[in-house]
Amino acid sequence: MKSGSTPVTSYFLFLLTILSILTGCSSVQHDVTPPLAVPPPPTAIDLRNSSVVKSTLLKHYREWHGTPYRMGGLDRRGIDCSGFTYITFRSKLGYILPRTTDLQAQTRRQVVRNNLRIGDLVFFKTNFYSNHVGIYLGDSEFLHASTSKGVIISSMKKQYWKYCYWTARRIDT
C-alpha cells in the first residue's frame, strides 16, 4: 500500500475500477441514427367515414407489416406501439397524437367497448407497469406493434386481449 493511502480509499478505487469495466462492456447498443422524419400531416381524414379509414389503415398495415418492435423506435427498423399509432395518425389520417401510450390514453373522448368505431384507439393493461395501444379496425380486430411479432393485426376476441382490455379513445371529437 502506498504511503498516505487508507484501506477505505483503496477499496473505493477498486470499486470504481470494477464499475468502469462493467459499464464499459455493457451489451446495450445506443442508437445514434436520427429518428424517422415524420412528414407533416395531410389534410385530416373524416374518421366517421369507416370505409375510407379502414382502407387507409389496411394500406398502411401492408407497408409496415412485420416491422419489428423496438422500444422508442419510430422507423421500419423497429417501432413501439405508441410510436406506431403516432406515425399512423399523423402521416395517414392527419391527426397529431401525443407520443406516449399514457398520454394517448388521456387524449380526446373515451368510448365504451361496445361502441367502438374503426379508427378508435384501443388500450390494454398488459402488466402492472405498462400499457399497450392499437387502432381498432372493426369486427373485434386491431392494428398494433406487438412486442413479439412486430406490426400485426390481432383479434380482441382472443382471451389475452379480452383480459387486458382497458379503455378506448375516439380522436375525431
> Which CATH number goes with the domain that contains 60?
3.90.1720.10
Counting the structural domains of the chain, the total is 1
- 145 and 79 Cβ atoms separated by less than 8 Å: yes
- 73 and 82 Cβ atoms separated by less than 8 Å: no
Q: Quick one: pLDDT at residue 25?
A: 33
Q: What share of the chain is helix, strand, coil (3-state, %, to 5)?
A: 35, 20, 45
Instruction: Decide if 81 is catalytic.
Output: yes
Q: Quick one: pLDDT at residue 22?
A: 36
Among 25, 65, 132, 164, the active-site one is 132
Q: Which residue, among 149, 37, 144, 171, has the nearest Cα to 84 in the 3D structure? A: 144
Q: Quick one: pLDDT at residue 37?
A: 56
Instruction: Report the Cα 41 to chain-centroid distance in Å.
Output: 19
pTM above 0.95, yes or no: no
Instruction: Decide if 164 is catalytic.
Output: no
Which domain range does residue 105 map to?
1-173
Instruction: Decide if 60 is catalytic.
Output: no
Q: Which regions in the chain score pLDDT beneath 70?
A: 1-41, 173
131-161 pLDDT per residue, tens? 999 999 999 999 999 999 999 999 999 999 9
